[in-house]
Amino acid sequence: MLVGKRALVTGASRGIGAAIARRLSAEGAEVIVNYTSSAAAASTLVKEIGQQGGVATSIQADVSVPADITRLFDEVSARFGHLDILVNNAGIAQPALLDQVTPESIDQQFALNVKGLLLATQAAVRLFPESGGVVVNLSSGGAKSPIPYMPVYSATKGAVDVLTRALAVELGPRNIRVVGISPGLTITDGTSEVTSNQAMHDYYISRSPLGRLGLPDDIARVVAFAVSDQSAWITGETIQVSGGLVG
C-alpha cells in the first residue's frame, strides 16, 4: 500500500500514464497528474480519482522544456512540500526511415525521452524526504530489440535504460531506488496505427506467448509494485512487461 505517499506522474492525462495514476491512487497515494496540452483529459482523470475516494491534482508542464520542468517542481514544492515517487512516463515517438530522420525529430525525441527524464529526476529527488523515495522510468522493448522505422526512439529508450542503472548507483546511498519498466506493445492512442492494422495486430499476437497485446493496466500494476515496499530490494533494473513478446 502507498498510503501517505505522494506521486508525480508525467504525461499522465491518458494511456499508460493515466492508468498508472489511477493505480497509484487505488493503492493509497496522493497523485499529481502532469500533462502538456490535454487539460480536459487531465481534469477528467482528477475528477475520476476523486470519485473513487482518492486525492489528485493536475499541473501543466511540457517536460521537454527545461523552464517548464523548473516551474513544475517549484509548484509542487510550494503546494505540497515534498514528493515520494516520480514516474517518468512522458515520451514521444516519431516513426521514420533513416532517409526521413531530421535533426528536429532527433532533438524532439531526445529532449523529452532523455533530457526531460533526467532533469525531472534531478528536480524531483531534491523534494524527496531524507528517508528516500522511488523513481520509475518508462522504457520500451525497443531498447533491446529496436523497432523497425523507429531508430531514434529506440535509441532514446536505450539511453533510458542506461540512466536507470547509472542513477540507481548514484542515488542508492540516499535510499532512493530507480527502477525501469519496459512495456511491450500496449494498446493506447499512441499505438493505434499498429494495433488497428489487422495484419500488424495479428503479427504481434503471433509473437506473444500469452496471445494478446498489453493493456495500460498491465503496466500500471507493475509500476505500483515497483514503487511499493514489496520491491525494496530492486533498483537499477529494468523490468520487461511484455507478455513474453520479443521483437
Q: What is the pTM of this model?
A: 0.95
Angle between helices 117-125 and 66-80 (to 10 degrees): 30
169-189 mean pLDDT: 94
The structural domains of the chain, ordered by start, are 6-241 (3.40.50.720)
pLDDT of 185 reads 85
Model confidence at 142, pLDDT cuts 50, 70, 90, reads confident
17-41 mean pLDDT: 98
220-242 mean pLDDT: 97
Mean of per-residue pLDDT scores for the chain:
94
Q: Is the pLDDT of residue 191 over 80?
A: no
pLDDT of 194 reads 65
Active-site position among 35, 153, 203, 204:
153
Q: What percent of the chain has pLDDT over 90?
A: 81
**Active site includes 35?**
no
127-136 mean pLDDT: 98
Q: Is the pLDDT of residue 197 over 80?
A: no
pLDDT of 192 reads 65
29-48 mean pLDDT: 98
SS3 sequence of the chain: CCCCCEEEECCCCCHHHHHHHHHHHHCCCEEEEEECCCHHHHHHHHHHHHHCCCCEEEEECCCCCHHHHHHHHHHHHHHHCCCCEEEECCCCCCCCCHHHCCHHHHHHHHHHHHHHHHHHHHHHHCCCCCCCEEEEEECCHHHCCCCCCCHHHHHHHHHHHHHHHHHHHHHHHHCEEEEEEEECCECCHHHHHHHCCHHHHHHHHHHCCCCCCECHHHHHHHHHHHCCHHHCCCCCCEEEECCCCCC
Q: Is the pLDDT of residue 159 over 70?
A: yes
Give tens-digit pLDDT for 199-213. 777 777 888 889 888
46-58 mean pLDDT: 98
